[in-house]
């Protein structure tokens, strides 16, 4: 087995037993990037020199004994997490040369544990998209089938893990941007409860929805990552003071006493038959493991897409107002007046999807329309949250598809942004409600494309999701399966 094929838990054992050094592990991942990234296009930037320096430092820590669980492990980072001294582009021309003077809290946490960062990976511009085709620099390919989308917006995170270019990655999830690419690329993706993981240093898209989380090859690694990145941060006003459990202790076999809810609204018209079959098989696996299966209802699901795209676009309009060419980022050099400079900088610096959402959001917040759109969407958001609260009175977690279909061909939604928006219908409700959601591999389509299973739970109940995902992983035996690239 090549070192890059190891999971985090396997690598931890090999590193601690001195069977492998972090430099050897990191060099293996860097060589893997050189070998396959011309095909999968995961990376915007590869930080080889810094990675090897971090690996050497990790080896010294390991030699002294009692290293942190993530010490010496190579990771990639979605390119909207600020990294001191390393370009952070958000997949946008407007931040093409932006080098932050500080690290995001999650990056600090990884570095503080001696982790190795091999580079920054591709994403939809400012995390706005479901395919990563909106990236200004490179577009990730689905490692399982060339010509098909990797998902988004954390597409590069998913492909870098699936293609074994690193052992794990950090992405962000505003409406499914961790879970959806994880599903389409056959890896594990976890969106934590809003407030569980600090957002300090995450370049904002929609501040009430954004959340950072891990993409890994198996469920054990996801739990290890959650141990490493969770916790209160006074620099993030939305961070919650909540005890951090050892998430790995949730990984036990058997589901006796756990109630699993099936929402009828998630299994209606438009659901691909192959996806439905995989999810039904997963439900049976949990039943066989001892879970009680119950029916639940989320009656306001039909409003989720409209509510999400109003709230997310309104917050994006506000957050992205700072990119005006004055303080940092791209500036148009040909403008003859300040107003022209603003207009040309934003027109040339932003891509079409970002401009579309800024326009939607600005309209929704404008005088005379605020009450009709943004305020009304916020009120319906509360109804969606109450749907989940009511459902969790009769179940401990909810199971569903992640996406209505497996991955689709690149360019299929290029002229139809509404079709792309509708592909998020099963994931955006977790962000609106602030609850945790997880995607775990469940099977494959007849075309060999991965299909994920979505698990959602009450606030700060990631442990029950990890337990269920662990049992599904045991049943499907899909953990750490690699595409042939």
Instruction: Enumerate the β-bridge partners of residue 120.
Output: 45, 77
The maximal CA–CA distance of the chain, rounded, in angstroms, is: 70
Of the residues 27, 45, 177, 429, which is catalytic?
A: 177
Is residue 35 part of the annotated active site? The answer reads no
How many other CB atoms sit within 10 Å of the CB of residue 150? Answer: 32
Residue among 9, 21, 42, 153 flagged as catalytic:
153
DSSP, res 343: H
DSSP state of 28: H
DSSP 436-475: -EEEEEEEE-TTS-EEEEEEE-STT-HHHHHHHHHHHHHH
Other C-beta atoms closer than 10 Å to the C-beta of 288 total 11
What does residue 482 show for φ and ψ, rounded to 5 degrees?
-115, 135
Q: What are phi and psi of 472, to 5 degrees?
A: -65, -40
DSSP assignments along 291-309, one per residue: PEEEEE--TTGGGHHHHHH
Residue with tokens 């917006």: 153
177 is catalytic: yes
User: Catalytic: which of 78, 120, 191, 467?
Assistant: 78
Is residue 472 within 8 A of residue 442, CB to CB? The reply is yes
Which residues share a beta bridge with 77?
120, 170
Distance CA 101, CA 108 (A): 13
Count of alpha carbons within 13 Å of 405, Cβ hemisphere only?
A: 15
Give the C-alpha separation, 444 to 262, whole Å.
21
Q: 124 Cβ partners below 8 Å, 6+ apart?
A: 91, 130, 131, 132, 133, 134, 135, 152, 153, 155, 177, 353
**CA atoms of 25 and 43, how far apart (whole Å):** 18
Contacts of 315 (CB under 8 A, 6+ apart): 204, 205, 206, 207, 208, 209, 361
Query: Would residue 256 show up in a list of annotated catalytic residues for this protein?
Result: no
Cβ-Cβ contacts under 8 Å for 341 (sequence gap 6 or more): 325, 331, 332, 335
Catalytic residues: 78, 153, 177
């Amino acid at each position: 087995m090549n070192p890059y094929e190891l999971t985090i838990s396997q690598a931890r054992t090999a590193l601690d037993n001195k069977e492998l050094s972090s430099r050897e592990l990191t060099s293996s991942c860097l060589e893997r990037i050189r070998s396959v990234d011309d095909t999968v296009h995961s990376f915007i930037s590869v930080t080889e020199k810094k990675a090897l320096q971090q690996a050497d430092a990790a080896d010294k820590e390991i030699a002294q004994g009692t290293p942190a669980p993530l010490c010496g492990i190579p990771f990639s980072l979605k390119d909207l997490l600020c990294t001191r001294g390393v370009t952070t582009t958000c997949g946008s021309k407007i931040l093409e040369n932006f080098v932050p003077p500080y690290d995001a809290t999650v990056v600090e946490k990884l570095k503080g544990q001696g982790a190795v960062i091999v580079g920054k990976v591709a994403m939809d511009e400012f995390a706005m998209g479901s395919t990563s085709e909106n990236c200004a620099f490179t577009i990730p390919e689905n490692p399982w089938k060339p010509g098909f989308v990797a998902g988004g917006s954390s597409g590069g995170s998913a492909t870098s893990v699936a293609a074994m270019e690193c052992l794990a990655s950090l992405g962000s999830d505003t409406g499914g941007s961790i879970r959806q690419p994880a599903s389409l690329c056959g890896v594990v993706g976890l969106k934590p409860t809003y407030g569980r993981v600090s957002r300090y240093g995450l370049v904002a898209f929609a501040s009430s929805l954004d959340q950072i989380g891990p993409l890994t090859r198996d469920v054990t690694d996801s739990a290890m990552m959650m141990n490493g990145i969770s916790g209160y941060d006074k620099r993030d006003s939305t961070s919650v003071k909540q005890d951090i459990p050892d998430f790995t202790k949730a990984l036990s076999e058997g589901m006796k006493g756990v109630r699993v809810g099936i929402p009828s609204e998630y299994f209606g018209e438009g659901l691909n038959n192959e996806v439905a079959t995989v999810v039904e098989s997963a439900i049976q696996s949990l039943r066989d493991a001892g879970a009680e299966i119950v029916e639940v209802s989320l009656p306001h699901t039909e409003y989720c897409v409209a509510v999400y795209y109003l709230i997310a676009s309104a917050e994006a309009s506000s957050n992205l107002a700072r990119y005006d060419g004055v303080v940092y980022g791209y500036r148009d050099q040909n403008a003859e007046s300040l107003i022209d400079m603003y207009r040309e900088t934003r027109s040339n610096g932003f891509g079409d999807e970002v401009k579309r959402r800024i326009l939607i959001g600005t309209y929704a917040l404008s005088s005379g329309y605020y009450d009709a759109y943004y305020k009304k969407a916020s009120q319906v958001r509360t109804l969606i949250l109450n749907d989940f609260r009511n459902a969790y009175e009769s179940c401990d977690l909810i199971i569903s598809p992640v996406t209505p279909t497996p991955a689709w061909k690149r360019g299929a939604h290029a002229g139809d942004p509404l079709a792309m928006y509708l592909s998020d219908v099963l994931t955006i409700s977790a962000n609106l409600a602030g609850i945790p959601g997880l995607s775990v591999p469940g099977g494959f389509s007849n075309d060999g494309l991965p299909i994920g299973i979505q698990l959602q739970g009450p606030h700060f109940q990631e442990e029950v999701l990890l337990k269920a995902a662990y049992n599904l992983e045991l049943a499907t035996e899909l953990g750490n399966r690699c595409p042939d690239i």
